[in-house]
Structure 1
Amino acid sequence: MRLAHARTAAGDVPVVSHDQRWFDLRPLTAAIAPATLSPTALAGIRTALDADELPEVDAPTAYAPPLSGIGKIVCIGLNYQDHAAETNTPPPDEPILFLKAPDTVVGPDDDVLIPRTSVKTDYEVELAVVIGTTARYLPSAEHAAAYIAGYAISNDVSERAFQIERGGQWDKGKNCETFNPFGPWLVTPDEAGDPQDLALRLSVNGELRQNGTTKDMIFGVHEVVRYVSQFMTLYPGDVINTGTPAGVALGRPDGAFLRDGDVVELEISGLGRQRQIFRQA
Structure 2
Amino acid sequence: MINFDSLWNYQDPETTRKKFISILDSSPQNNNYTLQLKTQISRTYSLQQNFTKAHNILDDIAQIKERDSLTNIRYLLERGRTFNSANDHQKATNLFLQALEIANKEQYDFYIIDALHMLGISDTNSSMEWNLKALSVAEKTEEEKARNWCGSLYNNIGWGYFEMKEYEKAHHLFLKTQAWHEDKGDLQRTLIARWSIAKTLRMQNKMMEALAIQKKLESVYDDQQKKDGYVYEELAECYLSLEDSNYKRYAQKAYDELNKDMWLQKNENSRLQRLKKLAE
TM tier relative to shorter chain: under 0.3
| TM-score, with structure 2 as normaliser | 0.22
| Bigger helix share | 2
| TM-score, with structure 1 as normaliser | 0.22
Larger Rg: 1 or 2?
2
Higher RCO, Cα 8 Å, sep 6+: 1
